[in-house]
Amino acid sequence: MKLNKYIDHTLLKQDATKGMFDKLCEEAKEYDFKTVCVNPSWIEYCKEKLRGSDVKVCTVIGFPLGAMTSEAKAFEARQAVELGADEVDMVLNIGRLKNNEIEYVINDIKKVKEAIGDKVLKVIIETCLLTDEEKLKACDAIIKANADFVKTSTGFSTSGANLEDVKLLKKGAKGILKVKAAGGVRSQEDMITFIENGADRIGTSSGVKLMSNQKPTDSY
């Protein structure tokens, strides 16, 4: 199991500075992580820093609330791809899902998928705010919208991924979607357990510590 290739090495803090992104990219190259995951204004910078490596650039859209218009999300996603993003993690409209406006949710995702073409689209459903029934409804909507992954968490709400959610989302994915577990991975043992139970990708700001089997201290 190549643990490094499960990791989206993440830096989404509001106060992140250039030096922090330099470190992120150097670590990603050293450990050959799958991606770095950054806010859109840092896509070009990280793309250049990673030139010549196998590490891709992932970005976040409609982040972290997911409550902006579908058109705004689509514009942001289209621009992100133009700037060099290889993968896009968008936030689902949580309130609309909880209101059972499923067609709205599907169309919201579809507009982003159409904007990014063949790039990988992961949909963050913020599991800590949903019932199990809502999580499964979200999976169905993501499948209907032709996205690629269901992702547990933004890392900016009340909690991140847990094992029970990973198992549930794996079931809801129906062999069509992949599952990204973000936040909540507290050790290399946790990471392996998540992967064995259905996680195809791990979102974490502690990739280096996980690879060296140290305990992460960050919340994401």
CATH code of the domain containing 153: 3.20.20.70
Report if residue 216 sits inside a domain.
no
Could you give the angle at the alpha carbon of 212 between the alpha carbons of 28 and 190, nearest 5°? 100
pLDDT at 216 over 70: no
Output the average pLDDT for the chain: 96
Q: How many domains does the chain have?
A: 1
Residue 80 belongs to domain spanning: 3-211
Residue type, 201: R
pLDDT, residue 158, reads 86
Report if residue 191 sits inside a domain.
yes
pTM of the predicted model as reported, rounded to 2 decimal places? 0.96
In the chain, DSSP finds a helix count (H) and a strand count (E) of: 9, 8
pLDDT at 40 over 80: yes
- The neighbour count for residue 157, using CB atoms within 10 Å, is 16
Report if residue 217 sits inside a domain.
no
pLDDT in tens, 82-107: 999 999 999 999 999 999 999 999 99
Report if residue 220 sits inside a domain.
no
Name which of 158, 142, 209, 148 is nearest 180 in CA terms: 148
pLDDT, residue 214, reads 79
Q: Hey, which residues does 35 pair with through a beta bridge?
A: 8, 56
Cα–Cα distance measured from residue 159 to residue 84, given in angstroms and rounded to the nearest whole number: 30
Tokens 């409804």: give the residue: 137
Residue 181 Cα distances to 20, 69, 96, 161, angstroms: 23, 25, 22, 6
Residue 148: φ, ψ to 5°: -110, -35
pLDDT, residue 41, reads 98
Residue 126 Cα distances to 5, 88, 158, angstroms: 23, 16, 9
Report if residue 91 sits inside a domain.
yes
> Which residues are CB-neighbours of 158 under 8 A, at least 6 positions away?
128, 129
pLDDT, residue 1, reads 79
Report if residue 45 sits inside a domain.
yes
pLDDT, residue 104, reads 98
pLDDT, residue 6, reads 98
Catalytic residue numbers read 89, 151, 180
